[in-house]
């Protein structure tokens, strides 16, 4: 089994296959696990927690729970003067975790080949061969594209599956939580998510990552041979806007130093409630980076084969529903479960039938939330 990409979906699948006794190998284009900035806090719902429980060894799942903060189960929507417009109540599991903490947990015990840039694949009667930019190749009975929003596997396999600009860009930052910065936030703001919305739908969003117990102690108690890198609480904080409001192109933002990105964010919240400016002023500036928001266009079913896709490689979505990570984890668990009980082609057919339904439903929900609150472009239909 060949898995292209060591993100959440690919690693969820790898753990599920390992638990089922199915050999696999993960190939990752980055040179190391922490080579790229990919965001900070993740909201894990019951969907994601159930998937993790299904695929992880019990001690790793317990470590995940021990390093995930218990957020208040609601989302606050404020105007730019910090007047509460609505509070969206949620039920079930609501866990806020550091993205890299979760990825380190998922990487534990996995065999990952780094620096492997996928170029193309070739299929035969008995399997598939993946080729890499360094001239090497890998052969297996199934190739799984878990290589993210710019998936090379998707481009070759489903060239009609489009990923489009959502019309938005977010500037991601984080605020170290100290006694001084905690005082910026009211108790009800330590929730799943909070956002301030400006008249032009510019958004300042924030959510806490608070560790329930010392991270080193949790590792020592549950997985003594794992050392998690991050252990300081923080408030993730992003400022998002439509491109025309942001006033810079993708290339211009990508070329900016972190302190200049902070200045752009400060301009976007100029004249808002003082809390908005204070949040951005307290950013851990070197950790700031821009992220264009893109979305998949839902497509209909396709003929199952020795190639399939999980996570953002097939159903990338805006963050407006908090569903991307949870859906990717679900994909990995669902595909692993199917493969444990049926031959590859039958398993892929069963997985894809379900995934096309729930995956693109999440894309549509995210797009609608983004349109309503953030001015995201309406979701078009596949051409």
The pLDDT tens digits for 87-141 are: 998 888 899 999 999 999 999 999 999 999 999 999 988 899 999 999 999 999 9
pLDDT > 70 in the chain, percent: 98
Contact in structure between 38 and 356 (CB atoms under 8 Å): no
- Segment 214-238 mean pLDDT: 93
Contact in structure between 72 and 118 (CB atoms under 8 Å): no
- Segment 33-58 mean pLDDT: 88
Closest among 335, 319, 346, 349 to 10, alpha carbons compared: 335
Contact in structure between 82 and 198 (CB atoms under 8 Å): no
pLDDT of 230 reads 79
Domain count, the chain: 1
**Residue 16: which pLDDT band, with cuts at 50, 70 and 90?**
very high
Q: Is residue 383 part of a domain?
A: no
Q: Is residue 183 part of a domain?
A: yes
Q: Is residue 20 part of a domain?
A: yes
Q: Is residue 378 part of a domain?
A: no
pLDDT of 309 reads 98
The CATH number that applies at residue 44 is 3.50.50.60
Contact in structure between 240 and 205 (CB atoms under 8 Å): yes
Angle between helices 46-55 and 58-66 in degrees, nearest 10: 150
pLDDT of 38 reads 58
pLDDT of 290 reads 96
In this predicted structure, the answer to whether residue 281 has a pLDDT above a threshold of 70 is: yes
Cα separation, 116 vs 5, whole angstroms:
9
Q: DSSP H helical segments within 256-304, as ranges?
A: 258-268, 274-281
* 8-state DSSP, 133: T
Q: pLDDT of 299-347, one tens digit each?
A: 999 999 999 999 999 999 999 988 999 999 999 999 999 999 999 999 9
State pTM to two decimals: 0.95
pLDDT of 33 reads 79
pLDDT of 9 reads 97
pLDDT of 125 reads 82
In this predicted structure, the answer to whether residue 352 has a pLDDT above a threshold of 70 is: yes
In this predicted structure, the answer to whether residue 189 has a pLDDT above a threshold of 70 is: yes
Q: Is residue 266 part of a domain?
A: yes
Weakest mean pLDDT among 35-44, 196-205, 225-234, 313-322: 35-44
pLDDT of 191 reads 95
**Residue 258: which pLDDT band, with cuts at 50, 70 and 90?**
very high
Cβ within 8 Å of residue 122, ≥6 positions away = 128, 129, 131
pLDDT of 229 reads 85
Weakest mean pLDDT among 19-23, 222-226, 260-264, 318-322: 318-322
pLDDT of 380 reads 84
pLDDT of 382 reads 61
Residue 169 has φ and ψ, to the nearest 5°, of: -135, 140
**Residue 34: which pLDDT band, with cuts at 50, 70 and 90?**
confident
Q: Is residue 25 part of a domain?
A: yes
pLDDT of 361 reads 97
- Pick 2 or 231 by higher pLDDT: 2
Cα separation, 318 vs 376, whole angstroms:
9
- Segment 14-39 mean pLDDT: 88
Strands of 289-296's sheet in order across: 84-89, 72-79, 191-197, 203-209, 234-242, 163-176, 289-296
- For tokens 């481009």, the residue is 155
How far is residue 379 CA from its own chain's centroid? 20
Containing structural domain, residue 34: 1-372
In this predicted structure, the answer to whether residue 39 has a pLDDT above a threshold of 70 is: no
Cα separation, 69 vs 360, whole angstroms:
28
Q: Is residue 377 part of a domain?
A: no
Q: pLDDT of 174-184, one tens digit each?
A: 999 999 999 99
């Amino acid at each position: 089994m060949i898995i292209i990409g060591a993100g959440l979906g690919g690693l969820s699948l790898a753990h599920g296959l390992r638990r089922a006794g199915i050999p696999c190998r993960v190939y990752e284009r980055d040179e190391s696990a922490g080579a790229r900035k990919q965001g900070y806090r993740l909201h894990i719902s019951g969907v994601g927690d159930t998937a993790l429980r299904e695929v992880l060894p019990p001690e790793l799942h317990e470590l995940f729970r021990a390093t995930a903060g218990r957020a208040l189960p609601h989302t606050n929507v404020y105007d730019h003067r910090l007047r509460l417009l609505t509070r969206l109540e949620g039920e079930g599991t609501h866990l806020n975790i550091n993205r890299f903490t979760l990825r380190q947990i998922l990487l534990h015990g996995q065999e990952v080949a780094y620096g492997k840039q996928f170029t193309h694949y070739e299929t035969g009667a008995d399997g598939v061969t993946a080729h890499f930019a360094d001239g090497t190749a890998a052969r297996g009975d199934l190739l799984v594209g878990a290589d993210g929003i710019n998936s090379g596997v998707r481009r070759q396999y489903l060239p009609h599956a489009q990923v489009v600009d959502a019309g938005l860009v977010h500037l991601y930052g984080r605020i170290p939580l100290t006694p001084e910065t905690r005082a910026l936030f009211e108790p009800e703001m330590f929730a799943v998510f909070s956002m301030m919305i400006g008249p032009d739908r510019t958004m300042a969003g924030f959510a806490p990552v608070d560790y329930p117990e010392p991270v080193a102690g949790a590792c020592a108690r549950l997985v003594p041979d794992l050392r998690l890198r991050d252990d300081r609480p923080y408030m993730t904080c992003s400022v998002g806007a439509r491109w025309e409001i942001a006033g810079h192109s993708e290339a211009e933002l990508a070329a900016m130093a972190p302190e200049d990105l902070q200045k752009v964010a400060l301009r976007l919240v100029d004249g808002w409630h003082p809390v908005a400016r204070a949040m951005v002023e307290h950013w851990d500036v070197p950790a700031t980076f821009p992220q264009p928001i893109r979305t998949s266009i839902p497509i209909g079913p396709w003929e199952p084969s020795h190639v399939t896709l999980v996570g953002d490689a097939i159903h990338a979505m805006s963050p407006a529903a908090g569903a991307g990570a949870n859906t990717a984890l679900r994909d990995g668990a669902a595909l692993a479960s199917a493969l444990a009980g049926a031959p590859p082609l039958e398993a892929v057919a069963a997985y894809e039938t379900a995934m096309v339904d729930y995956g693109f439903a999440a894309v549509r929900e995210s797009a609608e939330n983004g349109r309503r609150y953030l001015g995201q472009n309406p979701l078009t239909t596949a051409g």
